[in-house]
């Protein structure tokens, strides 16, 4: 169960919480379970640039898997509206209830079958076969919609989204279009169920007639030998292979059956003509969009099984306060696949005038992971997802910008500084005070003096922008540039400086030479090496 | 179709559990010899015979039922053997089935079953013919009923019906299958149908119900395959049902064989015994409370197969006696006598004939043996424990009405101790309603019973003629304190009447008999 109560029901002075329960909407209002009444054009949506740096590509990959429903565009379109975000959080919350989830899952299963049937309508080419797939699709569709309507009607729903859907389903199933679809389908199916014909097969010749009550020959034969029956024998069951679709011989048979039962098949023809495009666009859309929730929940609950906490964050587009307790890098968590012990959670806090987290400390200390986590948390929140933290208050940026140095990338050393500077300039030009900027290990490949100079210049401009940012660097001096900067340090174990704790804490940068401590551990300090080699 | 030759109202059960002391019985009473003679190499027969012998019948009526069938078989041995052969013939058709190439398709299964049924039907005809030829010859309820059943259930009409089916199952005029509409409007719920019999008028008048035909071109391989699959769906359940029916008929022949095996075994045994000049009789089963046990010329059946010369028979009259004590010289025929009683009891209760000129015996609730084990020849300390333990195990199994055969029980200790133990055991068991035949050297035991309860027990002694020769018979006689070791002494020391044995013994001892 994802922590959400506190985040969603506080009604004190905090200006950025919007969780007022709207009155139950009417059915006409339902459009999208993801976007509420708003309409979003996802045609030009691509994977955001920050995905790679923040390892969000891995996370989304893990969530969507084969991506049968093409969910990726949804993950590539973060929201900017607090109400829209809350709208989604409400739906997530509802889906955490077993009954709601079960009802939606059941519907999704049936909807998948409908789609499979309709695909067969497209791919198969025998007339009576495709018409039957179409008819069956309609029947499954009607049953699924009614089932979902009934299930949701009987449940306590808290989200505007599902309540709106529920009302819509009631109206929709009462509509004439739907009622006639359902009734017609039933009638035609009943007619076809009554059809019984015989095949006389002789060599390659087939004669199709109506069934006239001929006797079950198998029963006759069985009766003849019944007098020998004693005890249990092997059933001699035969496994008969089946492709599942009609072949040309069956098609020829079907044509003749249609001639023998003209009324029933005419009814089938008419049904198909009358109900073309029966699938309601909003329901089709719901079928796809609800998978965004189901897939995400499955992912989150999977990690939750290893004891990792998620929560619904309080969000705001105005206040730039950030308050995270027990946050963690969700991509790392997946990679560690449930090894709870190995993952360290950290806090993030930006209060009042604070804007930039300057993170320093030893190599491999978890600084980059920390920076990623901050980026991930904000992105997750902007999608309306539960975020990887025990408690969180986050702000919704207009855009996230990242620049991550690849530490091991020695090959591109030449000209790298220029590239970096170019990139940083671009970021500074496009970012606003409402953006979020994550800079990881910039200017690491140049001299200390240059790094300090360049770093200071960049940081000054960042501060001038006034947007929240994370800056990971080895230049300790940057950590104390002003009241807007917050110094965060990756800590080591008190007794063994070579051991990283991966805990990032608020502390002045202390400029210790961690590298030396590691060297000493391997007997490579100056004294030791002399005594080892010098002999 | 039932056979009911072993029991009037149920099948012979090959799985019925054997008594816990089955192994001891087999060993002590040398049943192996009898079973081998009955089986003549047929392992199945041997097993049936073994089970029948070890699990006796509990009431006289059931025994007479079997005796009657056996009597018929003895009178018409060729008939019994023929029936047994026919049953095996039926079972062996299964081997022929290996020549039917079997793929996993309805057609192949159908063809295989049809082929088997053809063979099986032929054997059924044979059965019916045998019944026709010999129904008048048999008198026993079992065989009379069996033949009547064959004539009734395998009558001409039925056999013709089978033929008709086997012919129709070739589907020479095509296959008729009904179907409904399933997924994708393909056929579903295929059921094989018998074509309606159309009257002459219907057939010659034009019109009739509409039908539409089409043909698949010869070169359309896929089409022909698809049609074959459709047809396969239609005949699948019939093929399975037919295969099951085939199994059932095979099972019937298997059952017939097991009902006949015992009788064929008895025939074999009877022939062997007759060839060796040993006569048999049908014992008269009496109720347990009568304490009946009277026989003339009762002999040990297994021994017949080990000797070249005729076997000695005994006259026994133990009517009304719960206890029989047998004493006397070594190698005098006591153990043989004991065995003959046990074997006769088992054979009687199995419904067989017995090794005697005549026999009347009460039914028992079980036959038990307490024999000296061969390995105990050393008679060391500890063997008594083993004997007592075994007796205790028997005590768990023995119920009132049982027959216990003791051979030299408790001889593994001195006479006084052994007698005391034996006395207690015997008294307790006899008072609990168990009949005991006790072969023993414990004079104290035998004498004690003789003096105190002489009338309640029968005392038998290995017969010894005045010149010391044994007749290997047991005859009524009080226990004697000696087992005629004196004979042996005189023989060895040349102090008694000369005999071939004596001379041999002295020569062995190195002394000159003429001195």
Q: Among A99-103, A125-129, A256-260, B104-108, where is mean pLDDT lowest? A: B104-108
Per-residue pLDDT, A13: 30
CATH code where residue B447 lies? 3.40.50.300
| pLDDT for residue B34 is more than 80 | yes
| pLDDT for residue A14 is more than 50 | no
Per-residue pLDDT, B102: 66
- Average confidence (pLDDT) over A485-510: 81
Nearest to B240 among A203, A208, A235 (CB): A235
Domain count, chain B: 2
- Predicted confidence band of residue B378 (pLDDT cuts 50, 70, 90): low
Q: Does the residue B330 lie in any domain? A: yes
Q: Does the residue B95 lie in any domain? A: yes
Rounded to whole angstroms, the Cα distance separating B323 from B455 reads 10
Q: Does the residue B478 lie in any domain? A: yes
- Per the CB < 8 A criterion, the answer to whether A150 and A107 are in contact is no
Nearest to B178 among A196, A246, A249 (CB): A196
Nearest to A230 among B183, B239, B248 (CB): B248
Rounded to whole angstroms, the Cα distance separating A192 from B187 reads 12
Supply the DSSP symbol for A531: I
Q: Does the residue B45 lie in any domain? A: no
| pLDDT for residue B400 is more than 70 | yes
Rounded to whole angstroms, the Cα distance separating A89 from A159 reads 8
- Average confidence (pLDDT) over B418-440: 90
Per-residue pLDDT, B100: 62
Per-residue pLDDT, A37: 77
Whether residue B356 is found in the same domain as residue B260: no
Per-residue pLDDT, A415: 60
What residue in B sits closest to A229 (Cα-Cα)? B248
Chain B within 8 Å of A198 (Cβ-Cβ)? yes
Residues B452-511 have pLDDT tens digits of: 877 789 999 888 777 777 788 888 988 887 655 666 666 677 765 544 454 444 454 444
Per-residue pLDDT, B511: 45
Per-residue pLDDT, A117: 95
What residue in B sits closest to A195 (Cα-Cα)? B180
Contact at CB, A233 and B247, closer than 8 angstroms: yes
Per-residue pLDDT, A10: 35
| pLDDT for residue A18 is more than 50 | no
| pLDDT for residue A3 is more than 60 | no
- Predicted confidence band of residue A12 (pLDDT cuts 50, 70, 90): very low
| pLDDT for residue A275 is more than 50 | yes
Q: What is the ipTM of this complex?
A: 0.77
Per-residue pLDDT, A24: 44
Instruction: Collect all residues of chain A within an 8 Å Cβ-Cβ radius of residue B162.
Output: 224
Percentage of chain A beyond pLDDT 90 is: 59
Task: Give the other-Cβ count within 10 Å of A286's Cβ.
Answer: 25
Whether residue B318 is found in the same domain as residue B463: yes
Whether residue B371 is found in the same domain as residue B270: no
Encoding tokens for residue B371? 């024999």
Rounded to whole angstroms, the Cα distance separating B116 from B105 reads 17
Instruction: Collect all residues of chain A within an 8 Å Cβ-Cβ radius of residue B209.
Output: 209-210, 212
Contact at CB, B213 and A206, closer than 8 angstroms: yes
Backbone angles phi, psi at A472, to 5 degrees: -100, 125
Per-residue pLDDT, A6: 40
Encoding tokens for residue A162? 């599902």
DSSP states of A302-366: HHHTTT---BPPEEESS---EEEEEE--HHHHHHTTT-GGG---EEEEE-TT--EEEEE-STTSS
Rounded to whole angstroms, the Cα distance separating B449 from B446 reads 5
Nearest to A245 among B180, B184, B191 (CB): B184
Chain B within 8 Å of A193 (Cβ-Cβ)? yes
Whether residue B271 is found in the same domain as residue B370: no
- Predicted confidence band of residue A509 (pLDDT cuts 50, 70, 90): confident
For tokens 């007759």, name the residue.
Answer: B274
Strand pairing report for A197-202 and B403-407 = unpaired
Instruction: Collect all residues of chain A within an 8 Å Cβ-Cβ radius of residue B224.
Output: 204
Whether residue B158 is found in the same domain as residue B108: yes
Rounded to whole angstroms, the Cα distance separating B10 from B317 reads 36
Whether residue B268 is found in the same domain as residue B346: no
- Average confidence (pLDDT) over B142-170: 93
Compute the mean pLDDT over every residue in chain A, rounded to the nearest whole number.
86
| pLDDT for residue A19 is more than 50 | no
Specify the long-range contacts of residues A148-151, CB closer than 8 Å, at least 24 apart: A148/A103, A148/A104, A148/A106, A148/A107, A149/A173, A151/A99, A151/A102, A151/A103, A151/A106, A151/A107
Whether residue B266 is found in the same domain as residue B323: no
| pLDDT for residue A411 is more than 60 | no
Strand partners for B362: B286
- Predicted confidence band of residue A407 (pLDDT cuts 50, 70, 90): very low
| pLDDT for residue B382 is more than 90 | no
Per-residue pLDDT, B198: 65
Whether residue B255 is found in the same domain as residue B124: yes
- Per the CB < 8 A criterion, the answer to whether B128 and B154 are in contact is yes
Strand pairing report for A436-440 and A400-404 = parallel
| pLDDT for residue B84 is more than 90 | yes
Whether residue B411 is found in the same domain as residue B331: yes
Per-residue pLDDT, B452: 84
Tell me which residue range forms the domain holding B271. Answer: 57-170+249-275
Rounded to whole angstroms, the Cα distance separating A506 from A324 reads 13
Q: Does the residue B456 lie in any domain? A: yes
Contact at CB, B177 and A201, closer than 8 angstroms: yes
Final residue of a structural domain among B240, B275, B310: B275
Rounded to whole angstroms, the Cα distance separating B319 from B360 reads 9
Q: Does the residue B320 lie in any domain? A: yes
Q: Does the residue B268 lie in any domain? A: yes
Whether residue B336 is found in the same domain as residue B424: yes
pTM of the model: 0.73
Contact at CB, A260 and B213, closer than 8 angstroms: no
Whether residue B288 is found in the same domain as residue B270: no
Whether residue B141 is found in the same domain as residue B261: yes
Q: Does the residue B20 lie in any domain? A: no
Residues B208-233 have pLDDT tens digits of: 778 999 999 999 999 999 999 999 99
Contact at CB, A222 and B241, closer than 8 angstroms: yes
Per-residue pLDDT, A526: 66
**Half-sphere exposure in the Cβ direction for B126 (13 Å, CA):** 17
Nearest to A249 among B210, B216, B242 (CB): B216
Rounded to whole angstroms, the Cα distance separating B301 from B295 reads 14
Final residue of a structural domain among B234, B257, B275: B275
């Amino acid at each position: 169960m994802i922590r959400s109560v506190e985040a969603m029901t506080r009604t004190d002075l905090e200006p950025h919480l919007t969780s007022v329960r709207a009155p139950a909407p009417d059915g006409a209002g339902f459009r999208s379970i993801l976007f509420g009444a708003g309409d979003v054009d996802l045609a030009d949506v691509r994977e955001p640039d920050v995905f790679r740096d923040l390892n969000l590509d891995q996370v989304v990959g893990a969530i969507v898997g084969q991506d049968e429903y093409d969910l990726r565009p949804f993950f590539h379109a973060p929201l900017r509206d607090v109400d829209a975000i809350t709208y989604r959080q409400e739906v997530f919350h509802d889906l955490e209830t077993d009954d709601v989830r079960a009802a939606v899952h059941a519907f999704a299963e049936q909807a998948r079958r409908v789609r499979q049937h309709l695909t067969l309508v497209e791919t198969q080419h025998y007339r009576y076969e495709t018409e039957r797939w179409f008819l069956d699709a309609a029947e499954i569709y009607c049953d699924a919609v009614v089932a979902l309507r009934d299930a949701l009607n009987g449940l306590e729903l808290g989200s505007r989204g599902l309540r709106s859907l529920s009302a819509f389903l009631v109206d929709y199933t009462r509509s004439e279009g739907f009622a006639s679809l359902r009734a017609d389908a039933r009638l035609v199916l009943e007619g076809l169920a009554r059809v019984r014909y015989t095949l006389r097969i002789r060599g390659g010749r087939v004669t199709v007639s109506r069934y006239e009550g001929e006797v079950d020959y198998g029963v006759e034969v069985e009766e003849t030998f019944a007098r020998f029956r004693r005890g249990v024998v092997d059933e001699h069951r035969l496994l008969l292979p089946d492709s599942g679709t009609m072949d040309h011989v069956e098609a020829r048979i079907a044509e003749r059956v249609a001639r023998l039962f003209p009324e029933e098949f005419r009814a089938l023809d008419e049904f198909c003509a009358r109900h073309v495009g029966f699938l309601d666009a909003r329901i089709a859309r719901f079928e796809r969009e609800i998978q965004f929730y189901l897939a995400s929940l499955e992912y989150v609950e999977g990690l939750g099984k290893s004891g990792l906490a998620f929560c619904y964050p309080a969000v705001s587009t105005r206040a730039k306060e950030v308050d995270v307790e027990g946050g963690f890098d969700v991509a790392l968590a997946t990679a560690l696949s449930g090894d709870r012990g190995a993952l360290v959670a950290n806090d993030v806090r930006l209060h009042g005038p604070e804007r930039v987290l300057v993170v320093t400390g030893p190599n491999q200390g978890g600084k980059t992971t920390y920076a990623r986590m901050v980026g991930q948390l904000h992105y997750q929140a902007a999608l309306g997802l539960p975020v990887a933290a025990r408690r969180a208050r986050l702000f919704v940026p207009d855009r996230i910008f990242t620049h991550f140095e690849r530490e091991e990338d020695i090959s591109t050393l030449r000209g790298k500084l220029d590239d970096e500077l170019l990139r940083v300039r671009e970021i500074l030009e496009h970012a606003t005070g409402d953006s979020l900027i994550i800079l990881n290990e910039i200017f690491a490949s140049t001299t200390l003096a240059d790094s300090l100079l360049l770093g200071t210049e960049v940081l000054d401009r960042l501060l001038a922008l006034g947007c929240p940012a994370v800056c990971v660097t080895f230049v300790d001096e940057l950590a104390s540039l002003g009241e807007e900067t917050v110094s965060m340090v990756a800590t080591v174990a008190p007794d063994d400086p070579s051991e990283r704790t991966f805990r990032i804490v608020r502390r002045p940068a202390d400029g210790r030479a961690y590298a030396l401590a590691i060297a000493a551990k391997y007997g490579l300090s100056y004294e030791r090496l002399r005594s080892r080699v010098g002999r | 179709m039932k056979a009911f030759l072993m029991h009037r109202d149920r099948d012979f059960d090959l799985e019925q559990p054997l008594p816990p002391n089955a192994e001891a019985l087999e060993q002590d009473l040398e049943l192996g010899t009898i079973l081998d003679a009955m089986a003549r190499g047929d392992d199945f027969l041997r097993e049936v015979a073994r089970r029948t012998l070890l699990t006796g019948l509990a009431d006289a009526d059931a025994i007479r039922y079997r005796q009657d069938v056996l009597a018929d078989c003895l009178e018409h041995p060729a008939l019994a053997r023929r029936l047994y052969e026919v049953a095996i013939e039926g079972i062996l058709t299964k081997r022929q089935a290996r020549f039917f190439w079997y793929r996993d398709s309805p057609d192949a299964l159908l063809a295989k079953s049809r082929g088997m049924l053809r063979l099986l039907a032929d054997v059924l005809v044979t059965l019916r013919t045998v019944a026709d030829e010999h129904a008048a010859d048999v008198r026993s309820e079992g065989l009379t009923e069996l033949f009547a059943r064959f004539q009734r259930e395998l009558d001409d009409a039925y056999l013709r019906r089978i033929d008709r089916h086997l012919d129709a199952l070739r589907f020479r005029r095509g296959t008729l299958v009904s179907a409904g509409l399933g997924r994708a409007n393909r056929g579903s719920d295929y059921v094989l149908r018998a074509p309606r019999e159309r009257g002459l008028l219907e057939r010659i008048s034009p019109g009739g119900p509409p039908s539409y035909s089409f043909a698949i071109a010869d070169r359309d391989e896929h089409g022909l395959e698809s049609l074959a699959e459709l047809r396969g769906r239609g005949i699948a359940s019939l093929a399975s049902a037919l295969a099951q029916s085939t199994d059932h008929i095979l099972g019937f022949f298997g059952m017939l064989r097991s009902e006949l095996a015992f009788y064929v075994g008895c025939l074999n045994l009877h022939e062997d015994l007759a060839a060796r000049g040993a006569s048999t009789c049908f014992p008269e089963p009496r109720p347990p409370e009568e304490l009946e046990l009277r026989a003339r010329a009762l002999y040990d059946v297994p021994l017949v197969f080990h000797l070249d010369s005729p076997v000695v028979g005994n006259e026994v009259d133990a009517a009304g006696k719960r206890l029989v004590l047998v004493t006397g010289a070594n190698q005098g025929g006591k153990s043989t006598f004991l065995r003959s009683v046990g074997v006769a009891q088992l054979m009687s209760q199995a419904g067989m004939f017995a090794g005697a000129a005549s026999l009347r015996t009460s039914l028992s609730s079980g036959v038990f043996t307490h024999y000296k084990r061969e390995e105990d020849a050393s008679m060391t300390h500890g063997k008594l424990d083993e004997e007592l333990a075994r007796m205790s195990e028997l005590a768990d199994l023995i119920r009132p009405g049982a027959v216990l055969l003791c051979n030299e029980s408790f001889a593994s200790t001195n006479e006084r101790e052994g007698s005391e133990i034996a006395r207690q055991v015997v008294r307790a068991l006899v008072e609990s309603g168990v009949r005991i035949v006790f072969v023993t050297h414990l004079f104290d035991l035998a004498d004690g019973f003789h003096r105190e309860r002489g009338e309640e027990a029968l005392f038998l002694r290995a017969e010894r003629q005045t010149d010391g020769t044994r007749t290997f018979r047991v005859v009524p006689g009080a226990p004697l304190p000696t087992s005629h070791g004196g004979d042996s002494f005189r023989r060895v020391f040349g102090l008694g009447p000369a005999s071939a044995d004596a001379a041999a013994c002295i020569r062995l001892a190195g002394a000159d008999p003429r001195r």
